[in-house]
Amino acid sequence: MIQILLRYFSPAYIKRHVIGNPGVMLRAVVLLAAVLTYGTSGFLYFELPGNPDLVWSDALWYSIVTLTTVGYGDFFPKTAGGRFLVGVPLMLIGIGLLGFILSVVANALIAAKSKELKGMSQVYLSKHVVLINFPGLPKLLRLLDELSHDPSIGPDTPLLLIDRELPELPPELLARGVRYVRGDPTRDDTLQRAAIKTASHAIVLSSPTCVDGAAADALNVTITLAIEARSSHVNTVVECQDPGTEELLRKAGCDRVVCSARFEALYVSQELLNPGMQDIVADLLSTAHGQQFYVTSLALSGAATFSQLTAACASAGHIALGLKRQHSNLLNLPPEHAVLPGDLAISLGAKRLASFSL
């Protein structure tokens, strides 16, 4: 907000847009102020000698009521000058001026809304989630559903979509309050319009407009480099299709990589070996229903074992599955297994918890 005020009240902006080339809205405001000033001062000039109790607020009220063609009748001119030199001009000018101002306001609102839908406007958000590349409406709606049901994101977190090809934001996304910026996400000016510096998360999805998976992965690597160069604090999750791209994305600085091809292969093999497994995994991963896997931080007060973690999870309605230690997942551990500082708890439960105290 401070940046906006500094921009619009800077000497350079005032000199260029206010003095040198005033906009239609500014001209309408100046014209309205001039007419009200004329009506207020003229009404007092002609009517004050015959009615000493009149004050400036009374004259201004008369001018506004007459200009808007309301005509309450609580104040009205009694002199010929007040009627024909003040009242009549206000009546004649008021009809045209009011229609002109209303049309200017309506056009400004329509233009602003159109620019917003087409992704051409500047966005001012903070702690928002940036979604990059439009993967198709069904996939994106499913992703939004999952994010809204988890308290770490929730339904109130602002969402913003960046895409190069989408001509206009679909009504389904507009109804969910999603903002849109159209442009090349590898360019700094596009990321600046999306307020990437104040974002909390960035999700880079594979673009369906690329000719193949290799081109989509190369684009996502470039996008990741652009984000990390400008806002390395943003938590980035990047989708790729080739498992060989995962290491390159990590070197680019992204926080998490999701390889869709690897998970597709796992789904197919598990559905063959264990029929119905994909439905079970979907329930465990979905935040919309059932119970989910959670990775939770641990608050250690001293030496601790996995049996203590199991008891802490049970008291919170969770089932302890194992530990996440650096880049390894330790599952189905014996009770005496030591819990070390920096370990994260892997559990199954109905809701996300802040931490487990041991």
| pLDDT score, position 4 | 46
Give kind and range of the element (H or E) at residue 145: helix 137-149
C-alpha dihedral (329, 335, 337, 338), degrees to nearest 10:
110
**Residue whose structure tokens are 């009521």:** 65
| pLDDT score, position 34 | 87
Q: Judging by beta carbons within 10 Å of its beta carbon (0-12, 13-18, 19+), is residue 19 exposed, middle or buried?
A: exposed
Q: Residue-wise pLDDT tens for the chain (358 aa)?
A: 454 444 544 565 555 555 555 667 777 788 888 888 988 899 888 888 888 888 898 888 988 888 887 878 788 888 888 888 888 888 888 778 878 888 877 877 777 777 777 777 778 888 999 999 998 899 899 888 888 887 788 888 999 999 998 888 888 998 888 999 999 999 999 999 899 999 999 999 988 888 777 888 899 999 999 999 888 899 999 998 888 888 888 888 888 888 887 777 777 887 788 887 777 777 777 776 678 888 888 888 888 888 888 988 888 889 888 899 887 888 888 988 988 888 899 988 888 888 888 8
DSSP state of 134: -
| pLDDT score, position 222 | 92
Rounded Cα distance between 235 and 199, Å, is 9
Let me know: does 240 contact 206? Beta carbons within 8 Å. yes
Q: The tokens of 95 are what?
A: 């009809």
Cα(first)–Cα(last) distance of the chain, in Å?
A: 44
Q: Are strands 235-240 and 201-204 parallel, antiparallel or unpaired?
A: parallel
**Residue whose structure tokens are 């229609």:** 99
Helix (H, G, I), strand (E, B) or coil at 333: coil
Backbone φ and ψ for 305, nearest 5 degrees, come out as -125, 170
Q: Are strands 201-204 and 129-132 parallel, antiparallel or unpaired?
A: parallel
Neighbour count for residue 328 (Cβ, 10 Å): 9
| pLDDT score, position 244 | 84
Q: Which domains are present in the chain?
A: 2-117 (1.10.287.70), 129-264 (3.40.50.720), 291-357 (no CATH)
| pLDDT score, position 5 | 46
Q: How far is CA 204 from the centre of its chain?
A: 16
| pLDDT score, position 19 | 57
Could you write out the DSSP letters of every residue in 281-328?
HHHHH-SSSS-EEEEEEEE-SS-EEHHHHHHHHHHTT-EEEEEEETTE
Q: Cβ neighbours of residue 155 under 8 Å, at least 6 residues apart?
A: 148
Rounded Cα distance between 268 and 256, Å, is 23
Q: The tokens of 92 are what?
A: 């004649």
pTM of the model: 0.64
Q: The tokens of 87 are what?
A: 């009242």
Q: How far is CA 284 from CA 260, 281, 314, in A?
A: 18, 5, 18
| pLDDT score, position 205 | 92
DSSP E strand stretches across the chain: 129-132, 159-163, 179-182, 201-204, 235-240, 256-259, 292-299, 304-305, 319-325, 328-331, 338-339, 344-349, 355-357
* Cα Rg, the chain, nearest whole Å: 31
Could you write out the DSSP letters of every residue in 54-102?
--HHHHHHHHHHHHTT---SSS---SHHIIIIIIHHHHHHHHHHHHHHH
Rounded Cα distance between 196 and 189, Å, is 10
Q: Considering only CA atoms, which of 26, 90, 88 is closest in space to residue 63?
A: 90
